[in-house]
Amino acid sequence: MSIKIDLSGHVAVVTGGSGYIGRVISRTLALAGAKVAVHYHSNSEMANKVVEDIKSMGGQAIAVQADTSDLGSAEAMRDIIEEKLGTVDIVVNAAVAQYDWTTVLEQDLKDYESQFRTCVMQNVCMAKAFIPNMQKLNWGRFIAINTECSVQAFPTQSAYVAGKRGMDGMLRVLAKEVGQYNITVNQVAPGWTITDRDRQNGTEKCPSYDDNVPLRRRGTDQDISNAVCFLASDLASYITGVYLPVCGGNIIPGL
């Protein structure tokens, strides 16, 4: 007898599925048996490559484009996924917006607005678009990617931390609002994560960071994806409202 994660019969959408972490999350959910919609905003080439990777493993996947911070766009994406794969019951919000980090006094106001749209409005719009169908199913998983920076609040992180902390507050409320429908709402908070970019550039090791992590290494995109897959499964059916650091103990939130 063994325990395994089996997402057969489920349909997942991964926002930012063409991104460095999103692409591994997409493949991992597919390996667990889920049908996967790989969302992209502009990188259609990578999204289609992820889809082909999943199909080569025997899975089912499509690439879908949307601005996930816009409700109409998120709803249009939902309709396409439902037509091609079925009703989405697993949402993973991994899309991010990049910008240059600097001090509060020097940070452009548009960077705060961008992070608010990416972190807060993305989750609001995806909830409005997808959770009503989960309520009808009386089952759902809503998972968002946060960050260890939300706890660290280091200098130059203000726009990112503001967006992620706002997202955290919205998702904690959402968890309480939809729990009665057997829908869980959780967050995975990576540390500084090794991705394909590091493997290509040979930058996996960074002693100044690694030596301060209790597990003495940076996490990988697969480490993050494994946590997402667990939270999407029935093994995590009684876990909701959680901010889960996946950072080797680099942050350990207290009671």
Catalytic: which of 160, 181, 209, 243? Answer: 160
Tokens of 127: 């909830």
160 tagged catalytic: yes
Rounded to whole angstroms, how far apart are CA atoms 82 and 204? 39
Q: What is the DSSP string of 131-145?
A: HHHHHHHT-EEEEEE
Judge contact between 172 and 224, C-beta under 8 A: no
For 252, residues 6+ apart whose C-beta sits below 8 A from its C-beta are: 245
Rounded to whole angstroms, how far apart are CA atoms 192 and 148? 8
Burial code (b: 16+ CB inside 10 Å, e: under 16) for 221-254 equals bbbbbbbbbbbbbeebeeebebbbbbbbebbeee
| Burial (CB count within 10 angstroms: exposed 0-12, middle 13-18, buried 19+), residue 95 | buried
How far apart are the two ends of the chain, measured CA to CA in Å? Answer: 36
Start-end of H helices in the chain: 22-31, 44-56, 71-84, 109-116, 122-137, 149-152, 158-178, 196-201, 207-210, 221-232
Collapse the DSSP code of 105 into the 3-class scheme (helix H, G, I; strand E, B; otherwise coil) and give the result. coil
Catalytically annotated residues = 160
